[in-house]
Structure formats: structure tokens, C-alpha cells
Structure 1
Amino acid sequence: MNIQKVAVIGGGTAGWLAANHLGKALLSKNVSITLIESPDIPTIGVGEGTVPTIRKTLHSFGISETEFIKRCDVTFKQSIKFQNWLDKRLHGPTNFYHHLFDPPSPMGDDLSALWLQTPMQEYSKLVSSQHAVCEANLAPKLITTPEYQAIQGYAYHLNAAKFALLLADNAQQKFGVTHIKANVVDTKLHLDGSIDALILDTCGEQKFDFYIDCSGFESILLAKALKVPFVDKSQQLFVNKAVVVQVPTESDAIIPPYTKATAHQAGWIWDIALSSRRGVGLVYSNAHLEDEQAQQKLNRYLQGRLDQYSYRTIPMNVGYRKQFWAKNCVALGLAQGFLEPIEATSIMLTDFAAGYLANRFPTSTAQMAALSERFNQTMTYAWERVVEFAKMHYCLSDRTDSDFWIENRDPQTIPEGLQNKLALWNEYVPMSEDLFSKFEVFNVENYLYVLYGMKYATKTPQIGELSLIEAKKHADRIQQRANLLCQQLPSHRDLLQKIHQFGFQKV
């Protein structure tokens, strides 16, 4: 049977990203796409950080970067600044490192070996000019830089609710996606277990050939209707709750061009600055911190002002579905699963999975068995790599001030794949060949920034005299470029104001 009618269940970022990816890919193939969104269920709306790959996605959808920035309260994100992730007694009370978006050592050979000779300075400062740009709160580009192009690598911070609305408009106007506001009250299955139809509260039974479950944590199709089990990762990633709040800011306040991630006794705090407010969330393990203690910690972080704002506590079920594609249904976004937001992986995994599905979308039911097997293998691999990368932030910490940090270093809680990588990188500086799949979520530069930001003790490699001279020249060139960029680039807020006034050049 040919697949001609597709339903996306759920709106928000996940649903509308899926609708755009599929709408673009299937526009010329006589396939209709209908997004069914509940009018009664608000989106989670806390996923406000992205990674650089989102720029390529938005450009491919035909969305103007200027319009996106204006409509979605967008600010630029060039890094995640990890504060207080190491022992204060050993590394100082203001210890931090940057996980930058520009690759390290851009003007010659890798400088990691040079850093290991003298690891007192910040790794990111040695290997990238972007460290200085971030610390000076500067923008990653000029107003004359064309849309989606960059002087320094960047992603975005954004208002998630407004982002979903922009994606919704784009999908309907450019790709002909139909939008229905209704609640799914029941699901009918075929004898073979696949989904036959949805029962909607406003328009009764609706039949489709293929279903995309973007219904969030509820996962009303994949989990509830098709009974796909959940793979629990709470024994490796302990963080399972968040207290979230939005804090208004002054119109002239400095806007950091990075996400702040500040560690605490049993987790960490994200702090994302938009142009007129900050999105702040304290994530924690409820096995190590009571809810009331978490609120008290967030109140201290906000200098005693928490009660001035509306805040809420969100439980997080940490893990993913054993299958992401079952029968004629694929789950995306939170319906696939959730891992803590330490590296803004939720939107990233949704974008990756939706794009992958769109490029390998079945034209008939006969193709689904082979395609679903490949999709499930790929996405399982991706989710496991995210588990490893997130865990690395915790198990490398030398903090001893709570059981949370001590237990995170217990080998029983560290995935075997990560243990093998760390054992290798104890002897050798990481290189791209250590990551052997094209479906790696994080590249070697991501590992380098976190490993050496957290002072990982790789065995110091021997460097020949000539190589050492060249490495120091390379480091000097990076510092010279950093000085030049700090003179040329505008402040973050200044660029945003100019974008709202004039807009970028079109590509």
C-alpha cells in the first residue's frame, strides 16, 4: 500500500520541526501532512538552547534568519560556560571552562599536546580565539555578515513557544501542512498491531497511513497504543527533576553569548539570556536533594528573588524508548525519550531524527520493515552516545562535597563505551579516528573541550623541538586573532539591536 496520508501528533518544537522536514521532503510526492495539536496541553517550553546544526536546518526550510531572530527573541550562543564543575579547593571558587562552538586549533596542528605540557591556563583560551570573544560578551558576526554565515561558530538561544509558532507558519505556508486543533481520545489498531485510525474529540475517526508521535512525555501512540517499553538510564544519569523560572532583565543588561551551566551540590543550574529575560532552571537528583532544598538553592542563585516570579518543578523520566519506529509509527522529541539538558541535546536529537526520517521516508508499507530497522539502530546509537557524553561531565569532576559527585565516579554507573574511551584517552590525545561512526552526535572537538576543560590527565606526549616551536607559533596566531576579533566584533546586544533595526544581508 502506498503511503499518502501522514499525521503528526503534537505541536511544539518537535511536531513543527517534523512537519517542516517532512513537508519539504514530500512536497512533490503527493503526500499530505496533517499536524494534530491539542488545544488543552501546553508545550513544556524550557528547551531554549540549540546547537550549530540548527542553522543549516532553518536555512533549508527557507526561514529568514532576520525574521527568526526578530520573532523568537533570539540571542546568539557560542559556547556553554561550565562553572564550578571542579573542586573549589583545588581549582579555585570561580573555576570554569568553555565548550566552544568553533573547532580548536584552527590554524595548524592540534594544540592539545602543547596544553598538556603546561595545563595551568584554560584549554579553550589556548586553542581558540572564541574564548576571548565569549568572555568579552561579543557577537559571533557583524551586521554585514550574510544570514546564517559566521565569523565565529554559533547557535541560538530562543523563546521555545515563539519558535514553534514560527515553524508552524512556515510549514503551513511553504509546505502545505494542514493544522487541526483536537485531542486524541482513542487509537484504533489493525490486526497486525499497526495504527489504523485516531479518534479525535472534535472530528471523530481520522485514518492515516503513517503516524509521527510528537506528543511529549505522554507518548500517546508509541508508548500507550503500541506498548513500546522504556529504557531507563537513571542509574547512569542521576538528574531527574528541574525547577524552572523566567526572570525579566533590564533593557541594557549585558547578554552573555553563551549558556551558563553552574554546578551545585546535586546537579547544576542553566542560565540562558534572551534580550528581555533569562530562562533559569535548577536540575537535580531527587535521590540527593529534596525538592524544598532545590528551591532554596535556586532562590540563593537568584539572590533571594525566586518568590517574585512564577516557577514550577518538572519531573524528568531519564531514558528512551526501546524502539523509535514501531509498525507505522515513529516517535520524535520527548516521545522518543529524554536525557538531561546538559548539552542542549533535545532539540538536536529531534532535528537529526526528523531530518533522517524525511530523507528515508517510505513510499509504501513494503519498505517499512527494512527502514525501521535501520532507523532504530541509528537512533539507539545516537542516544547511547548522548548518554556517554552527558555522563562524562559528571564522572570527570573531582568534587567531593556530596554523595552525588562521588557516586557519579562509581565505575558501575559509567557506560562501558565511555570507560573504554577514557582509558584510551588516558594514554593518547583524542583524535577523530577514535569515533568511528558517521552517526556520532558529538565530534572529537566536543570531547576535547570537555576533557581538557575538566583537566583530564592524559599522559603528556613527547613533542620534538621543531614541533614545539611550530605549536607555540600557532598558539600566538590564535591569540593575535583573538585580540583582533575583540576589536572588530560588536557587543552581543549591539548586534541584536541592529538586526531588529536593519536586518542581515540575504544569502
Structure 2
Amino acid sequence: MQNIVIVGGGTAGWLAANHLGKKFNHNDAVTVTLIESPDIAPIGVGEGTVPHIRKTLSSFGISETEFIRECDVTFKQSIKFVNWMDKAKHGSDNFFHHLFDAPSKFGDDLTPYWLNHGAEKAYADMVSPQHSACEKQKAPKSITTPEYEGTLGYAYHLNAAKFANLLRKNAVENFGVQHIKANVLEAELHESGAIAALITKESGRLAYDFYIDCSGFESLLLGKALQVPFIEKSKELLVNSALVVQVPTQENDEIPPYTVATAHQAGWIWDIALINRRGVGFVYSSDHMSDEEATNKLDRYLHGNPTGLKYRKIPMKVGHREKFWHKNCVSLGLAQGFLEPLEATSILLTDFAAGFLADRFPQSFEQTSELEQRFNHVMGYAWDRVIDFIKLHYCISDREDSQFWLDNKKSETIPDTLKKRLALWQHFSPQREDFFSKFEIFDYDNYLYLLYGMHYQSKLSALSSQYHSAAKEHALRISTISEQLNQKLPGHRELINKIKKYGLQAL
């Protein structure tokens, strides 16, 4: 396996190029090539990330300062979910935070204490000082904090096109990845069923040993050439369409340090603030809302759309390939599959899969069978658990104001694994042991913030007086730390401006 090719650029392709380029940077026997169409623009919707991306970018040797400056980056500390619960019960514009800082990290788990005594305070506010920092529009770190380190947990919002360009520059200049601009017309198959070569419009026939499909929804290699079936998940996840738009902002507008996800009668709206614009997407089920209704509701969200912004519609084919590795081909990114971008799952799954592939890349064709089984097993498990977590947002909501929310509660739309977990958590709050696999993309912390942000009713046994006393003290300590951090941390835009002017301290 000496000649590796990645078909497709964008975030997925260039993430893969960096992972593999780093892996084989000092191995002259192996070449990594990326073929990118000069005519096909990337989808460019994925502008949110999760905290693991910090470790990835640092491992690539990319300066956080350069990244922030080059990619219109802002910090993301949370997803703020607005109106995901019944307005009559929880108030108009009810909200909760899915924070990136671990809950209860200064002592014992506060979840049982909150379930018994926390009615007057939001779950995230009791268990983490980050809730208050987000609400006060604070940054997760100071200008003197070293690159990729933070006082609070964080990820990023970014310009996806500029991010791909930064990754391309790093892969080519630092890892020796070869870059070819060409349109791949089709794949030529070997008699064994593996891919033998690519037929391109500009460069003719190009043969490689191993092929990585990052061709997006088209899935040119794994889907079209190798005929790996697509498994739809539209029965579990009902949204299938999105209207997207970029909304210009003013230089001094406040930048929320979180993604805003606002639920509506047939889906939800993402709102991501970069330094000079907002990326907004109206996600909906076309079975529950017409395109015209969706357009009107997005107009209303944008206060009538006074500047006449044009919306781009993106159809969502929800699901994933039956296999992610077949013969000498692996798919990544949208070529693997697609889920609504509710928890920044696309970049997360791509980064995870590309790193996992690079870690155990086959040295010869004889090794591919065993590694293929391993990769497909792990990625299949990861996709299923991500689907569980996305579905959780809908099925535990107490909204009943439309058929969309009622349909999401139907038993036949809820995966069996999620049903079993929810049944357990009716009587016990989640424990780390409930998430036994390290391939749970979302695990203990994530479920706690979502379950109890949405007031899931876990009926626990009585608490010991010893635990109650310690938990009360722990909660007070978190409250005190919140006040201290709000005094210490700079405002979000303030820090972004300082980074652009001075830069962060290099590691």
C-alpha cells in the first residue's frame, strides 16, 4: 500500500490528507495524493466543531493563532437549545445548555442532588461555571493562556471553506501531500472487485493502491463504483431538508460563545456567529412542513429578511453506507453518510474515522480484510450511537404542539438501544459504566447535559445525609467559581480582537 489517493477536497478530504500525511511524513516509500475537482464547490455548511478538534489541530502542528486569524474563527463553549420544551410549562424562549466543560468536575456527581433539590436552577448552571460564562458572553480563556489550552472547555465556529484551505496548505507544505486538480469521471475495477484506477477528465487514467472516498453525497467510489448500499435512517430522524443563508453582521456586534439551536414546529434552526457573519440554517421535515412554510418561517426568524437574502436549499438524505470500508476503499465525510448537523456530528465523525484509519493503515493488501472488518465494526457502532444521541433530543421533549413532535415520540421511531437506556435512567441517573465503549462519540457528560437540561424524570432513591451535605457544599463552590471567572475572563469578541492583534502564546 504505497500509493494512497483521496478523492475530494473540502474539510473531509483535507482532514484525511493531514492525518495520513502526518502518519507517512517520514516514510519515503508511501505517497499521499488528493484529487480535487476544480469545478465542484464544497457544501461548506459544517461550521461547528467539538473540543476534540483542538487535539487534532495541535497534532498537525497548526498554530491556533494562525487558525483563528485565517478561518474567521470564534470560540464555541456550548450549544444553547432554545424552545426544545413546551412553552406553556417552561416559558417562552426556554433554553438549556449542552456545555463543553465536564459537569461536577470539582467533586462528586451533583446529578442526584439536582434531581432532588435543583428545581430553582438549571442543571448546567448548578454543575458547571461555564453556564454563567456563556450567558455573560465570556471567552473560555485569556490572551495569556497558551494555544489549545483553556480555562473552560471549548471548540470553534469556523468558515468551512477557509478551514479547508488552511488544512490543504498544511498537508501540502508540511506533510508532502500531492495535490491534483482534476475531475474524476469514474473508477475502473479490478477483476477482484477492488478499485484498479481512476479515470479523470484532465489527467486520464491514474492508478493507486488504496482509495479514500471524500466525494461527498455523490459517494463516487464506495457508493457508485463499489455499489455499497445506503441505509436510510429517515424513520428514526425525521428532518430531511435545510434552508441555509449567511447573514452579514457589524464589526461590534456581540458574538455568542455558543451555537444557538432553536426548535420550531417541524425541526430547528442553527445560528452560528463568526467574526463578520452568521451562518443560519432552517432544518425541517418536508413531511411536516412545506418549502413555502419553511421559507416564511426563516424570514420571520430573520426579522422579515429586510435585505432580501437568498436562501439555498439542501436536501438531506439521512443515513449511512452499509459498510465504510470495502476492498481497497474507505469512505469519509458525507461519502460515509449524513445526519442533521445538530451536534456538529459531520466533522466529528470524519476526524474520528480519519484518525482511526491512519492509526492502523494496512501495509499490504493481505492486511485489508481484517482491518476492514475492524473499521466497519467500530464505525458502524459509532454511527448507531450518534443516531441514538440525536434522536434523544426529540423523543424526550415534552413538546406536543405539532405532529412532528408527536411523531418523534412514537416507539417505532426510537432505536432499541436508546429505549433500553431511557428505561434504565427512569430509576437511576446515568453512570460512566453505562458507556462501556471508548467508541461512544457522545457519552456520559453529553447525556447528562441533554437529559437534565430537558428535565428528564429520573426517580432516585433517597440521598444519604453525608452525600447531601457534600453536594450542597460542592454546588456552592461552583457558584463561587462562576462569579470569579466572570470577573477574570474577557468578553468573547474582546479576546478574538486581541488574538488577531497580539496572538496567543505558542506551546
Please list, as runs of the form range in 1=range in 2, the aligned pairs for 1:213-292 lying within 5 A after superposition: 213-292=213-292
* 2-structure distance, mates of 1:438, 1:48: 26
Conserved? CA contact 1:271–1:279, under 8 Å = yes
Conserved? CA contact 1:230–1:321, under 8 Å = yes
Match of 2:2 among 1, 4, 8: 4
Residue of structure 2 equivalent to 1:23: 21
Residue of structure 2 equivalent to 1:83: 82
Residue of structure 2 equivalent to 1:69: 68
Deviates more, 1:497-506 or 1:453-462: 453-462
| Superposition deviation, residue 460 in structure 1 | 2.9
* 2-structure distance, mates of 1:7, 1:251: 42
* 2-structure distance, mates of 1:317, 1:118: 43
* 2-structure distance, mates of 1:417, 1:443: 14
Unaligned runs of at least 5 residues, structure 1: none
* 2-structure distance, mates of 1:464, 1:208: 64
Letter in 1 for 2:53: I
Residue of structure 1 equivalent to 2:497: 497
Residue of structure 2 equivalent to 1:414: 414
Q: Deviations over 1:56-95 (max 9, x none)?
A: 0000000000000000000000000000000000110121
Please list, as runs of the form range in 1=range in 2, the aligned pairs for 1:219-368 lying within 5 A after superposition: 219-305=219-305, 308-368=308-368
Letter in 1 for 2:421: K
| Superposition deviation, residue 27 in structure 1 | 1.6
| Superposition deviation, residue 187 in structure 1 | 1.3
| TM-score scaled by length of structure 1 | 0.99
Conserved? CA contact 2:75–2:156, under 8 Å = yes
Please list, as runs of the form range in 1=range in 2, the aligned pairs for 1:30-41 lying within 5 A after superposition: 30-41=29-40
* 1-structure distance, mates of 2:192, 2:473: 66
- Is the aligned partner of 1:13 residue 2:36? no
* 2-structure distance, mates of 1:359, 1:491: 39
Letter in 2 for 1:70: R
* 1-structure distance, mates of 2:452, 2:39: 46
* 2-structure distance, mates of 1:157, 1:171: 21
Residue of structure 1 equivalent to 2:190: 190
Conserved? CA contact 1:78–1:140, under 8 Å = yes
Residue of structure 1 equivalent to 2:465: 465
| Superposition deviation, residue 309 in structure 1 | 1.6
Residue of structure 2 equivalent to 1:210: 210
* 1-structure distance, mates of 2:104, 2:186: 55
* 1-structure distance, mates of 2:42, 2:187: 22
Conserved? CA contact 2:186–2:220, under 8 Å = no
Conserved? CA contact 1:260–1:271, under 8 Å = yes
Please list every run of at least 4 consecutive aligned residues from structure 1 whose deviation after the TM superposition is greater than 4 angstroms: none
Conserved? CA contact 2:428–2:459, under 8 Å = yes
Letter in 2 for 1:415: P
* 1-structure distance, mates of 2:295, 2:307: 10
RMSD of aligned Cα (Å): 0.7
* 2-structure distance, mates of 1:333, 1:280: 21
Residue of structure 2 equivalent to 1:100: 99
* 2-structure distance, mates of 1:461, 1:275: 48
- Is the aligned partner of 1:151 residue 2:162? no
| Superposition deviation, residue 185 in structure 1 | 1.1
Question: Any idea what SS the aligned residue of 1:244 has?
Answer: strand
Letter in 1 for 2:76: K
* 2-structure distance, mates of 1:405, 1:305: 27
| Superposition deviation, residue 344 in structure 1 | 0.4
Q: Deviations over 1:348-386 (max 9, x none)?
A: 000000000000100100000000000000000000000
* 2-structure distance, mates of 1:435, 1:395: 20
| Superposition deviation, residue 170 in structure 1 | 0.1
Residue of structure 2 equivalent to 1:447: 447
Q: Deviations over 1:434-467 (max 9, x none)?
A: 1111111112010000000000000033111121
Conserved? CA contact 1:78–1:258, under 8 Å = yes
Conserved? CA contact 1:119–1:455, under 8 Å = no
Question: Any idea what SS the aligned residue of 1:304 has?
Answer: coil
* 1-structure distance, mates of 2:133, 2:148: 19
Letter in 2 for 1:153: G
* 1-structure distance, mates of 2:103, 2:480: 15
| Superposition deviation, residue 186 in structure 1 | 1.9
Residue of structure 1 equivalent to 2:113: 114
Residue of structure 2 equivalent to 1:52: 51
* 2-structure distance, mates of 1:464, 1:169: 58
| Superposition deviation, residue 333 in structure 1 | 0.2
Unaligned runs of at least 5 residues, structure 2: none
* 1-structure distance, mates of 2:122, 2:82: 13
Letter in 2 for 1:91: H
| Superposition deviation, residue 310 in structure 1 | 2.6
Question: Any idea what SS the aligned residue of 2:425 has?
Answer: helix
Letter in 2 for 1:61: F
* 1-structure distance, mates of 2:317, 2:407: 20
Question: Any idea what SS the aligned residue of 1:180 has?
Answer: strand
Letter in 2 for 1:81: K
Letter in 2 for 1:291: D
| Superposition deviation, residue 307 in structure 1 | 5.8
* 2-structure distance, mates of 1:114, 1:438: 28
- Is the aligned partner of 1:488 residue 2:488? yes
* 1-structure distance, mates of 2:359, 2:176: 18
Letter in 1 for 2:24: L
* 2-structure distance, mates of 1:92, 1:280: 24
Letter in 2 for 1:380: G
Conserved? CA contact 1:113–1:461, under 8 Å = no
* 1-structure distance, mates of 2:439, 2:350: 14
| Superposition deviation, residue 26 in structure 1 | 1.3
* 2-structure distance, mates of 1:460, 1:243: 43
* 2-structure distance, mates of 1:461, 1:259: 36
| Superposition deviation, residue 308 in structure 1 | 1.9
* 1-structure distance, mates of 2:453, 2:186: 50
* 1-structure distance, mates of 2:22, 2:332: 17
Q: Deviations over 1:305-351 (max 9, x none)?
A: 17622320000100000000001000000000001111000000000
Question: Any idea what SS the aligned residue of 1:148 has?
Answer: coil
* 2-structure distance, mates of 1:468, 1:324: 48
